[in-house]
Amino acid sequence: MRFHAGAAAVAAIAGAWLRIGLTDWLWLGVAATGVLSAELMNTAVERAVDLASPDEHPLARAAKDAAAGAVLVTAVFAAAVGLAVLGPPLWRTIFG
């Protein structure tokens, strides 16, 4: 979760530096909120599974893997949003 929080902070700093518009801020906010929500749900699933099944069990592993997969899918979406929102103004700033 710390990595994703750091990535969101970097995106926010870049957005402020590049002076992106309101719609772009909303997209970044949706993406960051989605990743944070997925991380929180992943933590909840992992703890609930550990409580219900402290021993290794294939179904417990499958539940944890599915929750982690949701975080991965959401993080890939957030990276795509970040690239789409920040890429063009960053390119213009660097290369004129």
> pLDDT tens track of the chain, all 96 residues?
899 999 999 999 999 999 999 999 999 999 999 999 999 999 999 999 999 988 999 999 999 999 999 999 999 999 999 999 999 999 999 998
* b/e code 75-89 from CB counts within 10 Å (16+ = b): beebeebbeebbeeb
pLDDT of residue 10: 96
Q: What is the CA radius of gyration of the chain?
A: 17
The domain total for the chain is 1
Active site residues: 39
CATH code of the domain containing 33: 1.10.287.3610
Q: What share of the chain is helix, strand, coil (3-state, %, to 5)?
A: 90, 0, 10
pLDDT of residue 96: 86
- Binding positions are 39, 46, 64-65
Domain containing 40 equals 2-95
pLDDT of residue 47: 97
pLDDT of residue 1: 85
Rounded to 5 degrees, φ, ψ at 19 are: 55, 55
- Binding positions for a divalent metal cation are 46
